[in-house]
């Protein structure tokens, strides 16, 4: 059995689990990349791994299943690949799914790192809109391609391919430095890369 045939069989027999596992792996790799860009050489390996697993869990247990269901619902409500159908699905995806996905990710990532409700509210107020606007520039062209060309069963996989880069950016926005999450102070001397890529923290 070829790899594609095996993958198609898994999609048919376990659609949610297969896509959730893909998304978990994508988010884990994205956070590891974000940490490398931050240059957190003073963080303990266990703290680095814990942060990556938290971000990956949001992807695997929430984003993957939600996207799977979302694509199915959109295709049922607005079937076809006509210009009108693609346009309606594009607007629905960017106006409805986009803010919900980003806002829920901000909240779940914050909760996983011990943030209070007031901190989460401030984070959403300060950063949700700007992050959503950025997402439209990235995801609108992707979704046009998805809805017009990509078969339904492969759309989460294609989204995960683009999502690696987008989620690296989201990790920089949403996840605190490992030392902050564990209560340990950051190193006083930061490497040059940390000065170039600054994350926005919860505090």
Per residue of the chain (203 residues), what is the pLDDT tens digit? 688 889 889 988 999 999 999 999 999 999 999 999 988 667 888 999 999 999 999 999 999 999 999 999 999 999 999 999 999 999 999 999 999 999 999 999 999 999 999 999 999 999 999 999 999 999 999 999 999 999 999 999 999 999 999 999 999 988 887 656 554 444 444 444 443 333 443 33
pLDDT at 40 (0 to 100): 65
Structural domain tally of the chain? 1
pLDDT at 180 (0 to 100): 61
pLDDT at 190 (0 to 100): 44
Range of the domain at 174: 3-201
pLDDT at 175 (0 to 100): 87
Where b means 16+ CB within 10 Å and e means fewer, 75-107 reads beebeeeeeebbebbbebbbeebbeebbbebbb
Q: What is the pTM of this model?
A: 0.82
pLDDT at 4 (0 to 100): 83
Q: Which residues contact 24 (CB under 8 A, 6 or more apart)?
A: 56, 57, 59, 60, 61, 64
Q: State the CB neighbour count (10 A cutoff) for residue 141.
A: 12
d(CA 104, CA 7): 29
Q: Of 45, 46, 36, 52, whose CA–CA distance to 194 is shortest?
A: 36
For the purposes of burial, counting CB atoms within 10 Å of the CB of 68, is it exposed (0-12), middle (13-18) or buried (19 or more)?
buried
């Amino acid at each position: 059995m070829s790899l594609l045939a095996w993958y198609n069989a898994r999609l048919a027999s376990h659609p949610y689990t297969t896509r959730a596992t893909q998304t978990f792996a994508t988010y884990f790799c994205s956070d590891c990349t974000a940490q490398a860009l931050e240059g957190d050489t003073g963080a303990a390996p266990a703290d680095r791994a814990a942060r990556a697993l938290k971000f990956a869990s949001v992807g695997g247990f929430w984003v993957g299943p939600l996207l799977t269901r979302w694509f199915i619902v959109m295709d049922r409500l607005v079937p076809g690949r006509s210009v009108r159908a693609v346009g309606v699905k594009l607007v629905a995806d960017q106006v409805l799914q986009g803010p919900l996905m980003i806002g829920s990710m901000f909240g779940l990532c914050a909760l996983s790192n011990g943030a209070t409700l007031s901190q989460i509210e401030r984070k959403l107020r300060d950063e949700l809109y700007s992050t959503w606007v950025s997402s439209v520039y990235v995801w609108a062209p992707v979704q046009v391609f998805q809805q017009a060309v990509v078969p339904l069963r492969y759309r989460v996989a294609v989204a995960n391919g683009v999502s690696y880069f987008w989620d690296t950016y989201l990790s920089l926005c949403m996840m605190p430095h490992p030392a902050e999450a564990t209560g340990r102070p950051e190193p006083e001397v930061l490497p040059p890369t940390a000065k170039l890529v600054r994350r926005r923290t919860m505090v």
